[in-house]
C-alpha cells in the first residue's frame, strides 16, 4: 500500500488545475473527471477557476492555486476515499499536460 502525503497531493493537484486552464480540451476533460470523483459542485468550482485564470487582465493563478490547495487538503481529511482516485487523476493529468505542452512547443 502506497502512503500518500496529503498536503503534497493537494498542492500538486491545485497546480495542475491552474496550469491546465490554458488548454481548453484538457481542462474540460479534467473538470469532468473532478466531477466524477468529487461531485458536481467541485466541477463547477473548477470551471469557475478556469474562467478566472483565463481572464487576460489579471493573473489570478497563484491565488486560485492557493485556494484549491486549502480546499483539497480539507477534502482529503474529510473524505479519505477520494485520495487514490485524486492521486491517479493528478498523475495522469500532469502527464497529459506535459505531453501536450511538449507537442505545442
How does pLDDT run across 31-81, given as a tens digit for each residue?
999 999 999 999 999 999 999 988 766 788 999 999 999 999 999 999 999
User: Minimal CA–CA distance to 45: which of 18, 19, 22?
Assistant: 18
Task: Provide the angle, in degrees to the nearest 10, between the axes of the packed helices 83-104 and 6-20.
Answer: 40
Count of structural domains, the chain:
1
**Quick one: 102 exposed, middle or buried, by C-beta within 10 A (0-12, 13-18, 19+)?**
exposed
Task: Provide the angle, in degrees to the nearest 10, between the axes of the packed helices 40-54 and 6-20.
Answer: 50
Domain contains 5: no
pLDDT band at 28 (very low <50, low <70, confident <90, very high): very high
Its domain, for residue 90, covers 19-104
Domain contains 32: yes
pLDDT at 104 (0 to 100)? 79
**What is the rounded average pLDDT for all residues in the chain?**
93
pLDDT at 3 (0 to 100)? 77
Q: What is the DSSP letter of 80?
A: G
Domain contains 92: yes
pLDDT at 23 (0 to 100)? 93
The pTM for the full model equals 0.92
Domain contains 8: no
Domain contains 53: yes
What span, in angstroms and rounded, lies between the C-alpha atoms of 91 and 78?
A: 22
User: Minimal CA–CA distance to 22: which of 50, 48, 59?
Assistant: 50
Domain contains 99: yes
Q: Cell 491517479 sits at which residue?
A: 88
Residue 1 has pLDDT above 60, yes or no: no
Amino acid at each position: 500500500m502506497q502512503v500518500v502525503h496529503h498536503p503534497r497531493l493537494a498542492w500538486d493537484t491545485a497546480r495542475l488545475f491552474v496550469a491546465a486552464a490554458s488548454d481548453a480540451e484538457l481542462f474540460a476533460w479534467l473538470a469532468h473527471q473532478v466531477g466524477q470523483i468529487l461531485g458536481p459542485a467541485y466541477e463547477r468550482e473548477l470551471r469557475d477557476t478556469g474562467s478566472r485564470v483565463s481572464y487576460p487582465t489579471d493573473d489570478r493563478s497563484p491565488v486560485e492555486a492557493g485556494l484549491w490547495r486549502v480546499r483539497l487538503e480539507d477534502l482529503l481529511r474529510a473524505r479519505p476515499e477520494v485520495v487514490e482516485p485524486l492521486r491517479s487523476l493528478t498523475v495522469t493529468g500532469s502527464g497529459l499536460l506535459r505531453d501536450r505542452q511538449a507537442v505545442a512547443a
